[in-house]
Amino acid sequence: MVKKMNVESFNLDHTKVKAPYVRLVGVTTGVNGDKVYKYDLRFKQPNEAHMEMPGLHSLEHLLAEKIRDHLDNVLDVGPMGCQTGFYLAVLNNDSYDDIIKALAVTLEDVMIATEVPACNEVQCGWAASHSLIDAQAIAQEMLNERSQWSIVFKEE
Ligand SMILES: [Zn+2]
């Protein structure tokens, strides 16, 4: 038995998951009853595939900007260091279905985007590392598997 770690995803067996998927990581309730829902948006199969940084970075900008057009109370969209997905944190929305729908329509937005938002040296920390084409390829691949997003684990 592996020692229980502080970070939820360190306790997740990454050999048992089946990407792409959308997984509720956990819910944190504040002292006033507000709830933060954290999701694992897994685009690539762990230890088998990953996103290259320019496409991942552009997709991060696009998701962060455009998902807020479709979903209220988005706190954060951030890439995983392993380059296989993103974390999404949302305040006071317990609907998994809302998340799925918002992600799908946001990825559709990505497919028709003509530029990456904020990819300049004033608004971004590595403005040279972007690729809209690669971001769109990742988005398309994710959209193609939409019917599978709610299935997180491989069949035994
Ligand atoms: Zn950036």
Contact 124, 61 (CB under 8 A): yes
Give domain status of residue 43, yes or no.
yes
Distance 68 CA to ligand 1 centre (A): 17
Give domain status of residue 1, yes or no.
no
pLDDT digits (tens, 9 = 90+) for 82-105: 999 999 999 999 999 999 999 999
Residues in the chain: 156
The model's pTM: 0.95
Residues of the chain with pLDDT under 50: none
Distance 132 CA to ligand 1 centre (A): 13
Distance 121 CA to ligand 1 centre (A): 9
50 is in an annotated binding site: no
Contacts of 91 (CB under 8 A, 6+ apart): 34, 35, 36, 37, 73, 74, 75
Give domain status of residue 8, yes or no.
no
Q: Select from 141, 112, 117, 127 the least CA-distant residue to 51.
A: 141
CATH of the domain at 51: 3.30.1360.80
Give domain status of residue 122, yes or no.
yes
57 is in an annotated binding site: yes
Q: Is the peptide bond before 20 cis (omega within 30 degrees of 0)?
A: yes
What pLDDT is recorded for position 67? 98
What pLDDT is recorded for position 155? 85
Domain that holds residue 118: 13-148
Give domain status of residue 52, yes or no.
yes
| Counted domains in the chain | 1
Distance 153 CA to ligand 1 centre (A): 31
Give domain status of residue 155, yes or no.
no
82 is in an annotated binding site: no
Distance 123 CA to ligand 1 centre (A): 7
What pLDDT is recorded for position 31? 97
Bridge partners of residue 24, in order along the sequence: 39
Give domain status of residue 3, yes or no.
no
Give domain status of residue 6, yes or no.
no
Distance 85 CA to ligand 1 centre (A): 16
What pLDDT is recorded for position 1? 58
